[in-house]
Amino acid sequence: MRFDISSPGFVLKENAEHKVNIKRMFNAIAPRYDLINHLLSCGVDIYWRKKAISKLNVSENSLVLDLACGSADFTIETIIEKKCSVIGVDFAQQMLICAKRKIKKKKLNSFWLLNGDGEQLPFVSRAFDGVTSAFGIRNMASIETALGEMHRILKENGQALILEFSLPAFKPFRKLYLFYFNNILPIIGKILSKDKNAYSYLPASVKKFPAVDEFVIWMKEAGFRDIQYWKLLNGIAVIYKGIKD
């Protein structure tokens, strides 16, 4: 019997398997996720999130969706800085448990956490004023589908704000960074997370993620306009912002 790898069934199965693996990985590392993040980035990730949220123009009456909210650092930053209501969605239950604990500890209101798939959001169209995602979209089985969902749930002129890893532009720095990323980070990550794959997956997923110009085109194709981006630390991370057409 011949195999047809272009058949829809084949693609679906591949994506489903990716989701199972990603969900399992984040559920496993959830209790140590924040600590590892801050250690491996020397705390720079905290500054990146603050900088990204400062680019979001929403009012106190706005409703914002934080896609792939994980342990809720982006969600918390948005609630504190913008004083608006935020719904955090993630498909890893253990990450949501950490998120709930953190938000409660800070005594914040106006938030909801929901277990859901970013590629199939359980919301009606045109419901949100803003949608954010920090280091989340890279993990989706289909990034284009997730971008389509972000666009669908936004109101007209709503904003999408994405913070994601990329690779530095300056070649000598890129070489040095890739050495750290490929050789040192996976070892430290493995020791701290006790998960043998999670921090080898990180460099692999960043290398697979589209370059800045290409991702801007993907955002345009999903229906966003006036796309802006800001490179952080020579492009180790990038903030993207687009408006729903």
Instruction: Please choose, out of 84-92, 149-157, 183-191, 205-213, the segment that lies near ligand SAM by the rule CB under 6 A.
Output: 84-92
Least spacing, CB of residue 21 vs ligand SAM, in Å? 10
Instruction: Please choose, out of 5-13, 134-142, 190-198, 220-228, the segment that lies near ligand SAM by the rule CB under 6 A.
Output: 134-142
Is 135 a binding residue for ligand SAM by CB under 6 A? The answer is: yes
R_g of the chain computed on alpha carbons: 18
Is 69 a binding residue for ligand SAM by CB under 6 A? The answer is: yes
Cβ closest to ligand SAM, residue 62 vs residue 193: 193
Least spacing, CB of residue 95 vs ligand SAM, in Å? 4
Is 119 a binding residue for ligand SAM by CB under 6 A? The answer is: yes
68-103 CB burial, b ≥16 within 10 A, e <16: bbbbbbbbbbbbeebebbbbbbbbbebbbebbeebb
96 phi and psi angles, rounded to 5 deg: -65, -35
Q: What angle do CA 86, 135, 216 make, to 5 degrees?
A: 100
Number of residues that bind ligand SAM (CB under 6 A): 21
Cβ closest to ligand SAM, residue 130 vs residue 136: 136
**Separation between Cα atoms, residue 40 and residue 154, nearest integer Å:** 33
Cβ closest to ligand SAM, residue 165 vs residue 224: 165
CA-based torsion, 72, 227, 202, 145: positive or negative: positive
Residue nearest to ligand SAM according to CB distances in the complex: 70
Is 139 a binding residue for ligand SAM by CB under 6 A? The answer is: yes
Residue 217: Cβ within 10 Å count: 12
Q: Tokens representing 174? A: 């890129």
Least spacing, CB of residue 4 vs ligand SAM, in Å? 26
Write out the binding residues for ligand SAM, residues 21-40 only, by CB under 6 A.
22, 26
Give the one residue of 29, 36, 65, 74 binding ligand SAM; rule: CB under 6 A: 74
Give the one residue of 63, 87, 103, 140 binding ligand SAM; rule: CB under 6 A: 140
Binding mask 87-106 for ligand SAM (x = CB under 6 A): ---xxx--x-----------
**Separation between Cα atoms, residue 74 and residue 94, nearest integer Å:** 17
Write out the binding residues for ligand SAM, residues 172-231 only, by CB under 6 A.
none
Residues binding ligand SAM (CB under 6 A): 19, 22, 26, 68-71, 73-74, 90-92, 95, 117-119, 134-136, 139-140
